[in-house]
Structure 1
Amino acid sequence: MVKNHGKKSRAKKKAQRTGASHASAAAGTFHTHTPLPDMSALGQLPYAAGRELDTELAARLVAACRTACKPCQKSLAQKLRTEHRPTLAALAGAVYGELAGIGPGAFASDTSRSWAPLARAANAGEGDRGAALAAVEAMDDAAASDLLEDALDHWAMGTPLPADLVDKLAAAPPRQRPADPMDAFRKAGIKVVTLDDLDLPDGVDPYYLAPNYGVTLMKTDTPDGRPMPMLVLYPETEDAGIEDLEARTDWEHWGLHGMPDMDPHWRVRARIAERSLQGLVHVGEDGEDGIELWRAAKTVSLPQHWWDLLDRVQHVLVAGPVKTPEAPGALQAAGGAGELLAVVARVAFV
């Protein structure tokens, strides 16, 4: 009896320490999911109001979500909700305030919708920066569960949706931009004049002076099987193509495996009133539009199912160029030949 009681006691303590279910802890079948993301950057965010975070627990919960391990998700999420509300606030704030700057999608819970403005205010340093955490700590278990589940939907989206950018910023070196083909002329002493160097007359739209593209609507799946909207670019002008995209973007070469990086500066603009797409642009650090790859020539309402997916995910996988994206196997051929660039862009609803 003493031996059995000791075993149960050790199992209980192990379950409390690791977040594993009591049964798995007692059986010695506790396992981890790799790779564990580095969550140390969570401590730099304002949503926990200086309180200590359990970044190890957060990392194991996110890893469990990414591998779709339901038992671990359930036990770890329960531990986070009941014992580590500051960590919950940081996880949710990283999605709704700090990095993504987005609001909850159409299918998010009422809890997430009402809490998101507090996260944005904390990020902006407005009002009481502890209000976001105070609201999380005041939630009942059902509300906390809704907020955590909505936040984890973003954290679980493979590589990498907004909050996962924490890992990228903390650990990854900056991607090297492809060499500008004009550099060879500059090194040879030849003066190169670009659109940025020209003082264009009023009324001249630089979009039509640069290569531009059309888009084809598609859908894809994240590594864990979640649907995601996708746009495939095709050249609309003769000078548009792989060399142009390599020179004007820092998108990665993508072979249709895994997910490309998310770059919050790339925006797919969507107009709510007409349920349509407006364009694909790169927004600079000053907030001004820079590179514009595609602009809708006319307003076309999107299919309801595609719009609903766009509204829910609020990110789009953009890939190209593909000359004839509707042709069977064209996208796969471009990816296999190493002639496909891709990025995950944010959706900006207007």
Structure 2
Amino acid sequence: MVKKHGKKQRAHRKAERTGASYTSAAAGTNHVHQPEPDLAAFDAWPGSGLGLPADRDLAARLVAAARAACQPCQESLAEQARRVSRPTVAALAGAVYSGLAGTGAGVFASPTTRGWAPYAREAAARGDSTDATGRVIMMEYEQVRDLLEDALDHWAVGGASPGEIADMVTVVPEAPPRQRPADPMAAFRDAGIKVVTLDDLDLGDDVDTYYLAPNYGVTLMKTNTPDGQPMPMLVLYPETEDAGIEDLEARTDWEHWGLHGMPDMDLHWRVRARIADRSLRGLVHIGPDGEDDIELWRAAETVSLPEQWWGLLDRAQHVLVAGPVKTPEDPGALAAAGDAGELLAVVARVTFV
């Protein structure tokens, strides 16, 4: 066990040094993603007077990994950019958000990105990114993470010019802010009762924790954004007895949703879709280390999606996830849950594998 742990630590250190994925570093075979992306939009981002240039090679590898849907490489390269090359983050984000010409960054963007986008437009207009880049350098780590995730959402689907990338951003009216659900376990902790979660248990690498926690099934649906654009939707229903509203409140920070407006987007929630057979594979939350830390649903078998729904998924790159409903076959179950205040929702990012 000690030897195995040491090997893992060495692989992690190698990944940090080289920017390679942990998987590649552990195997000793770093790989590259082809074709190399066109960085015309990145190159068009103006320089700053800070003496800290963006790393074009790092940006190219990061965008290529995002377009190849290689999560290990993308996570390790993104971590390198966040930690040691924030001007690269600014340039990647600026290439996207500098071309929005007075509009916002969109309802699917994080608050950090919506607040930073005007500085990107100002930098492009002035031909000087000193202020915009400086603001990224001074951001908290979580803010840089959100800004980079938002930018990579658009880089991942292609587009070489600032105008082409800007066209990918669908701007819709923003929904009013909502209060996050409280942690139902907080009352037990406040009362001095020790709460033990799966994360507290050292179960080893050979135990599949998915089957130790409540899990769900999914039903395909469609909805519309506030401006009338179609959007794919997944509705969760319990597959185990302990799944339900209390479980979702405890394991997620999804908001209570009454079927009006759009819930918040959280880029750490991912709906995985497999291109080869046009199927959905799972619904997971990505933790700070880039690994899955919550898995709500996993496909038990491969079922190819209807062509229209897959096409909508491919265009939107995001999914509205809502639940739970007790009887998924009942068309009125979703509305009933929303009316009862027992419906949680989030906008998740689609990761194609």
Q: TM-score, normalised by structure 1?
A: 0.58
- Residue 158 of structure 1 deviates from its aligned partner by 3.8
Please give the alpha-carbon distance, in whole angstroms, between the structure 2 residues aligned to 1:300 and 1:215: 12
Change in 2 beyond 3 A, CA 1:210/1:236:
same
Q: TM-score, normalised by structure 2?
A: 0.58
State the match for 1:210 in structure 2: 213
Change in 2 beyond 3 A, CA 1:265/1:202:
closer
Query: Counterpart amino acid of 2:231?
Result: M
Please give the alpha-carbon distance, in whole angstroms, between the structure 1 residues aligned to 2:270 and 2:173: 20
- Residue 97 of structure 1 deviates from its aligned partner by 5.6
**Greater Cα radius of gyration, structure 1 or 2:** 1
State the match for 1:179 in structure 2: 183
**Cα-to-partner distance string for 1:154-177 (whole Å, 9 max, x where unaligned):** xx13448xxxxxxx9xxx89x655
Which of 96, 99, 102 is matched with 2:150 structurally?
Answer: 99
Identity of aligned residues (%): 66
Question: Paired residues, what number?
Answer: 236
**Within the alignment, does 1:341 sit opposite 2:344 as a pair?**
yes
Query: Counterpart amino acid of 1:157?
Result: V
State the match for 1:150 in structure 2: 168
- Residue 341 of structure 1 deviates from its aligned partner by 0.4
Matches within 5 A, 1:30-109: 46-47=90-91, 58-59=101-102, 61-62=103-104, 84=125, 99-103=150-154
1:257 aligns to what SS in structure 2?
coil
Gaps of 5+ in 1: 1-42, 67-79, 107-112, 116-134, 137-143, 161-167
Change in 2 beyond 3 A, CA 1:184/1:322:
same
Query: Counterpart amino acid of 2:90?
Result: P
Please give the alpha-carbon distance, in whole angstroms, between the structure 2 residues aligned to 1:234 and 1:343: 15
State the match for 2:250 in structure 1: 247
**Within the alignment, does 1:193 sit opposite 2:196 as a pair?**
yes
1:334 aligns to what SS in structure 2?
helix
**Cα-to-partner distance string for 1:116-148 (whole Å, 9 max, x where unaligned):** xxxxxxxxxxxxxxxxxxx64xxxxxxx4x444
Query: Counterpart amino acid of 2:167?
Result: E
**Cα-to-partner distance string for 1:228-256 (whole Å, 9 max, x where unaligned):** 00000000011111111111111011000
> What is the root-mean-square deviation in Å for CA atoms of aligned residues?
3.8
State the match for 1:293 in structure 2: 296
Change in 2 beyond 3 A, CA 1:218/1:190:
same
**Within the alignment, does 1:304 sit opposite 2:319 as a pair?**
no
Please give the alpha-carbon distance, in whole angstroms, between the structure 1 residues aligned to 2:332 and 2:339: 10
State the match for 1:257 in structure 2: 260
